Structure 1
Amino acid sequence: MSEDELRIQAEEQLSQQLSGEPLRSAVQVVPANDPEALSVHLRTQQHELQVHQIELEMQNQELKRTNSALAVAQREFQDLFDNAPVGYLVLDAGGFIQRANHTASRQLGMPARALQSRRFSAFISASDARSFALFLRRTLEQGTGIPLEVSLSGVDSAVAAVQLEGQALLDQGGVPTHCRVTLTDITAQRLAQAEVLRLNVSLEARVEERTARLSALNEEMEALMYAVSHDLLTPVRQARDFGQRMTSPNENTTPETQSHYQEKLVQAMAQMESMLQGLLEYCGSGQQRLRFQQIDLNRVVAQVCKAAESQVTGQATGRQVRFHVDPLPTVYGDSLALQLIFSTLVGNALKFTRNEETAKVRVSCREEAEEFVLCVEDNGVGFNMRQKGRLFGMFQRLHSSRDFEGIGVELALTKRFVQRHGGRVWATGKPNEGATFWFSLPRVPQPVYLER
């Protein structure tokens, strides 16, 4: 309000109080011997004093209103500063905290008063200390600093990382003496980035695993196609050849020769039927749904060994069988599949120990960090390690069918069921010194569904 406006309002207010015309001030020379003029002069001075008094009261009221508005604005500014969504710090040139808002105190896990005169670098990790010192120096020199992400250390707070942004504060001479630093909580962002990184690594691992699995399936398919085109073709050719000989008009055959051809034809057809049946079982093993649950291998192996011992006893060969079974763990798997695996390996051990007076079969387990490694060991004819790659192939045999029966399907099925459990299979051996078949089962369930 201007002085003229203030004067007018004071005159009006005084006029209302006196209910009369106010006396106007004027510069007059009052004769000393004129009492009436002196009286008028005194009343004029009184009027001026009253007007000035009203003006002072009005100015005082205006000042109170202004002070009240300033107090409200100050409280609003302080509340905005203290409860801002980001932390605010005022640091001196040495990095000591001069002022902190409530958000910063919560981020640093310490009351605002306790933060004063403490080095901010004491709250960040040692690996970020040098970067922060450079950030503070550049902020003071250039007026602003490049945003910096730092990890908080030793802070009693849920905030683990913040992004710093700085602005220099100048004194009256324009010299930067302090800087204001904002602290933006980026903990959730860091966690999200870590989760994305973890998912990417997991995805890459799964892609590699899937690629390896597809590669293994392709190799398996190639081996299977070879087995079908090569091993299965042999009995087909035999059947064709003997059939042609039996029906050829140029063939001079005796009844004994015809009987021999007929016998060979039946054998070839039987072999082909067995191989086709094995092929169907092998292909079906990849589609069969397994029911995974907790399985006590001690019970499974006990049943397998009991059945195998009864079979050997029933054959009346006179040989003895000694089973030695170490304590076995409880695993996660399919009961029927695990029974088939052990039945195949134990049966395989008994078959290739038939020339021994006392067959020795041992079942044991080695526990490792991520898997159980089980083995079935025998004292049979063994095998040459140079042929180990053929052991688990379809229709692959390391010994003559005249000495040991079978078409080479059982171990291939065993390998597939072990793979369905997320494990692996291998074997070691020496000729005439026995063989040991190994397979692993993961501690954490990793069932695999093999598509064909």
Structure 2
Amino acid sequence: MSQDTLKLQPEVEAEASLSLEARFKSLEAQVLQLQSALNQARPLFQNSPGASFLLNRQGRVLDVNMRGADLLRSTREVLTGRSLLPLLAPGSQGTLTALLARVAEGRGQQAGEIQLQRPDGGVLELAVELAAHEGSGESVLLHLTLTDVTAFKLAHRALWSTQQAQELELQEMIVRLRQLYEEFENVVLVSGREMKSLITRAENFMVLSQRHPETPGHLDHVEEALQQTRNLLESLKDYMQIRFLRTRLRSVSLAQVLHEVLKDVHDQISDREVWITNDALPTLNGDSQVLKIIMREYLSNALKFTRTRPQIRIHVVVQEDATEYRIGMEDNGIGFSMRQKKKAFELFGRLHSSSLYEGTGLGLAVVRRLCERFGGRAWGEGKVNQGATFWFAWPKTPEQQ
């Protein structure tokens, strides 16, 4: 070894000694800094508003705050070092184990629900949030937050039970209403047949009575009343059949519907000067039977109340917007006062005396009900002695009710 080398060795050793001392002081400073951070973090952890636990990847409690200990009705001293898994209901142990494994594998924050079995036999429903605290692999520390959702779960079950009971009750009510409808329909039809039989007997008696020379003249009024009663029964029968009419949606040409209705009323206009015109009629998404009933009722209504006019003019008006078509039957008849517009569409609603204009007051009520079944509406506009227009609005996208 050279003399120069011997001179350098003490200097190298001195330099190494200073380097180790500096490193030691640096590590000591880091430890103190970590200890200070831990001292600051521990009160935050202990006093946090949520039930918090510090676990290892096997689910053993390394630390727990006051809220967590209270939730489990235990103490920090008792829980530290124990596994949480035996405290859980059997079905929840696998859930927590799976959540711990996912977080430990670096799959991010996990959430779920577990049940905790208390020593007093009670069960807590808990929402779980689990995230990695620090470290990795076998040394990873996991931060667990538990939220008691027992009251929410009980309320949810109670609400679900109530909803199920209400749905069952609703179904029973629907069945009962259907039975009542069928019973009502049957009663009306049977009663109608019986009343028609009685009316027929009364009419036969009237025919025999009129052959007798001493028959009182006022029996003519009785005969008229019997005929009105027969007409009313026929109208009620038609109304009941329409109420339970089976319908289906399809494309319906309103021009074709009007053509068929005009053929139906041909006898009413054959000996009268009648001009019937129309705007371009659309194709509707609807039921052909329903639209035919509506158009026939409106046209018959117009023909009835134009009877006193020497020349009858009826025009079918069409209006349209983004959501619906509005179809109006405009006439030059006797009209009506707008103060009575609601009455026209009521059951047995009449705008004019039955002694002057026949009818039972059911036709427009049928129209209103049919329109409402498809989300539409019906109404009338008029002026006394200046004609009337009866409208119905039909949605472009109807929904059967």
Q: TM tier, shorter chain?
A: 0.3 to 0.5
Higher Cα Rg: structure 1 or 2?
1
